């Protein structure tokens, strides 16, 4: 299984690609301009038309930018788009052209198979309309994607525990967030139960999620103002060491691409 982060932050957008040796790639979120998305895919030898489908987690612009155009990315390259009914309701307000056959509603608990990749949706607590996380399975391995969530629910823990690859939000350091000088309502939103996961919350969750079958953890959606890769990584590694768990922990860069294959 191969996982590529094309971009991973609120400020630069979010997009991730997963593929296997015998499956076409699936794209998770498309919160970057089409031109950048296409250029990033090229870095991995892919064209947009190689993608088997697009899975959208929620409607915030850092996750859907390439869909909010008169001719959206998925229309241009004829990609089926899997997203919650909440998302589709929100999307119907826009006058974007997307053919009906590309609209694929998916609900939490549902699974779909695209080009040999099995993708299962789960719900997550975030201030959006029916936000979803996804588990992608191909080549006999599973990768769980949980970004933009205010806290980790029991349901999420049971969905993600022991997956081979865990892509988990580690958005902010709480003290850096509080001292950021941002408007108070914004700080409250980020720290709230429907906001974003802090380094400490991610670390605590990973104590439960990481098992002997976990091959790697990728920390994602780091705040560019209220976090650093070093701070996030050391918070997680420190907490995992306390409970005697050892696993490679990587950090998805805010804007650059990165490939996370595991052999």
Q: What share of the chain is helix, strand, coil (3-state, %, to 5)?
A: 30, 25, 45
238, 239, 242, 250: which is closest to 214 by C-alpha? 250
Q: How big is the site for Zn ion, counted in residues (CB under 5 A)?
A: 3
Q: Does 59 bind Zn ion (CB under 5 A)?
A: no
Query: In the complex, what is the shortest distance from the CB of residue 45 to Zn ion, in angstroms, rounded to a whole number?
Result: 27
Tokens of 131: 């936000």
Query: In the complex, what is the shortest distance from the CB of residue 141 to Zn ion, in angstroms, rounded to a whole number?
Result: 25
Site for Zn ion in 121-150 (CB under 5 A): 148
Q: Does 60 bind Zn ion (CB under 5 A)?
A: yes
Site for Zn ion in 147-176 (CB under 5 A): 148
> Could you give the count of Cα atoms lying within 13 Å of 7 in the half-sphere of its Cβ?
25
The mark string for 191-220 relative to Zn ion (x by CB under 5 A, - otherwise) is ------------------------------
Q: Which of 62, 169, 173, 177 binds Zn ion (CB under 5 A)?
A: 62
Provide the sign of the torsion angle of the four alpha carbons 256, 94, 24, 47, taken in this order: negative
User: How far is residue 113's CA from residue 196's CA, in Å, rounded to a whole number?
Assistant: 29
Q: Nearest residue to Zn ion, using CB?
A: 60
- Binding residues vs Zn ion (CB under 5 A): 60, 62, 148
């Amino acid at each position: 299984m191969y996982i590529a982060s094309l971009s991973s932050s609120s400020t630069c957008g979010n997009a991730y690609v997963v593929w296997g040796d015998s499956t076409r790639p699936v794209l998770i979120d498309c919160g970057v301009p089409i031109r950048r998305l296409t250029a990033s895919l090229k870095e991995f030898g892919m064209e947009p038309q190689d993608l088997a489908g697009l899975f959208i987690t929620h409607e915030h612009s850092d996750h859907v930018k390439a869909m909010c155009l008169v001719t959206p990315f998925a229309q241009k390259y004829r990609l089926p788009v899997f997203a919650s009914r909440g998302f589709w309701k929100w999307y119907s307000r826009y006058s974007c052209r997307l053919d009906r056959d590309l609209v694929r509603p998916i609900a939490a608990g549902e699974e779909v198979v695209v080009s040999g990749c099995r993708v299962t949706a789960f719900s997550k607590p975030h201030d959006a309309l029916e936000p979803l996380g996804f588990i992608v399975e191909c080549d006999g391995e599973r990768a769980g994607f949980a970004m933009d969530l205010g806290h980790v629910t029991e349901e999420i823990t049971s969905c993600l525990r022991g997956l081979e690859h865990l892509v988990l939000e580690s958005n902010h350091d709480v003290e850096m967030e509080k001292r950021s000088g941002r408007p108070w309502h914004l700080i409250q939103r980020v720290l709230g139960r429907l906001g974003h996961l802090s380094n400490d919350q991610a670390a605590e969750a990973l104590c439960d999620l990481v098992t002997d079958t976990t091959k790697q953890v990728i920390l994602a959606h780091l705040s560019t103002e209220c976090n650093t890769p070093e701070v996030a990584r050391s918070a997680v590694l420190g907490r995992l060491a306390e409970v005697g768990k050892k696993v490679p922990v990587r950090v998805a860069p805010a804007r650059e691409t990165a490939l996370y294959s595991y052999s």
